[in-house]
Chains A and B, each alone.
Chain A
């Protein structure tokens, strides 16, 4: 992510961050978004964080 992209995102989000702090924010966002940008969303098996509606929860199903 470039500093210019950080500025574009700030404009879109209507927030202000001091110019001398943009590099720190750029690094924070770059690290946070790295795995997302590396992900091929079309190739990914469907793993949506979907809500499920089970009237009786199966025993042994301890997934989160």
Chain B
């Protein structure tokens, strides 16, 4: 068994080991397959482990290294895909009994781009059912568990992605984020996760939850690793109608420029309602660190922030529209909770949906105005640490409001970065949000903060 240190190395470090022949992609891949075999029976992060495909990818990477082809920093890096990304010839379930046998004949654009970058695909990672429900006991697919405490949720819906990263089973993962499904698991699992600007990364070949809110993006253990993955993923894709032609900058080079002179705005309204005291304390300490690093921190007002709750009306309506036919024809193939949530979408009127979109336009305008005065917004990512399964399986648990949805409403790039732990050892996280297509500044602030702290260096005992 390889050392723990290897499984928690950074992508940059692994690349350096490859180049000096201290490690080979095949050796690394075999070590990860062994680790998955050892840990996943208790974590349930993977739906499908693609060992043969992974070893083939690793051999191809090894051959490229042998030819001196080291242009991609992702060459030979083992990763996983959330199981809503279509993979040609490989089971893609969406975490749903409805798709338990679906083998797509096409590949998602994100998957194709990561393959071109030379990554090694270890497998498909469990998602909450259709990225919206949760898996109750007895579901076709078991729920992923939080590596920091197996009795707790890893967040969702990119639950397997968060758990696999925290457990050192992959170096990067594809997540998707409609209301916080990248940033939530990142927050609860103590890793980094970036929801890029709407249109920055393609959604082609990814199962839909809500067309106007869905984002794809990277999850990793460090901000720099997220930047490497984003570099491969970002860019125009004709197959996604929302894809942007905005030029793709270098996301990695500017990371080291620090935060001196940058302005950080803290919207105190909405984002602190019901926040756990330990989360708030960790967040305030993170602001103190950013100040010490040279950023200025000030409170800001987003006048229409309370309208962010309309996010749910949009998501429920669009999700029902997407699933209506299957819901009416095969309701028994949906989990009880998901079916209930989707049916709730049918109860929202056309007029209410339109008004929700108008509120969204006002929120976008207000947030753009604030981001003319500050460079990034900072909030706690999740108001509370990871809940227990007992809590979320309570029929009355409901759908707690989060701090992430407002930035799906506005489409702005938003990053979750670990910023501490509770007394009981659960991760907490700061959310940094920037201007449209300014992922560079968001990543730069996150990286600078991360490098000044050691939260990302802590790993769960497994």
Contact = CB atoms under 8 A, between A and B. Distances in A.
B361 A49 contact: yes
B309 A35 contact: yes
A6 B344 CA distance: 9
B87 to A, nearest CB: 29
Interface residues of A, number: 32
Nearest to B242: A64
B306 A35 contact: yes
A15 interface: yes
Contacts of B346: 10, 13-15
B436 A64 contact: yes
Q: Using C-beta atoms within 8 Å of the partner chain, give the interface range for chain B.
A: 35 or more
A34 B309 contact: yes
A19 interface: no
Interface in A1-17: 6, 9-10, 13-17
Contacts of B311: 32
Contacts of B364: 63-64
A21 B401 CA distance: 19
B309 A62 contact: no
Given A15-B346, A24-B340, A47-B362, A36 B355 contact: yes
A24 B401 CA distance: 14
A41 interface: yes
B356 A36 contact: yes
Interface string B335-346: 000001101101
B348 A44 contact: no
A64 B199 CA distance: 9
B348 A29 contact: yes
Contact of B411 (A18, A39, A41, A64): A64
Given A17-B340, A49-B360, A64-B364, A33 B352 contact: yes
B410 A64 contact: yes
A35 B359 contact: yes
B375 to A, nearest CB: 14
Contacts of B308: 35
Contacts of B82: none
Nearest to B437: A62
Interface in B286-331: 306-313, 316
Contact of B361 (A21, A27, A29, A47): A47
With most chain B CB atoms within 10 A of its CB, the pick from A16, A18, A39 is A39
A64 to B, nearest CB: 4
B294 to A, nearest CB: 26
Contacts of A36: 310, 313, 352, 355-356, 359
Top 3 nearest A-B pairs (CB, nearest first) are A32-B312, A47-B361, A9-B347
Given A35-B309, A49-B357, A62-B437, 18 more contacts: A9-B347, A13-B346, A14-B346, A17-B343, A24-B395, A25-B340, A28-B399, A29-B344, A29-B348, A32-B316, A33-B352, A35-B307, A36-B356, A48-B358, A48-B361, A62-B246, A63-B368, A64-B199
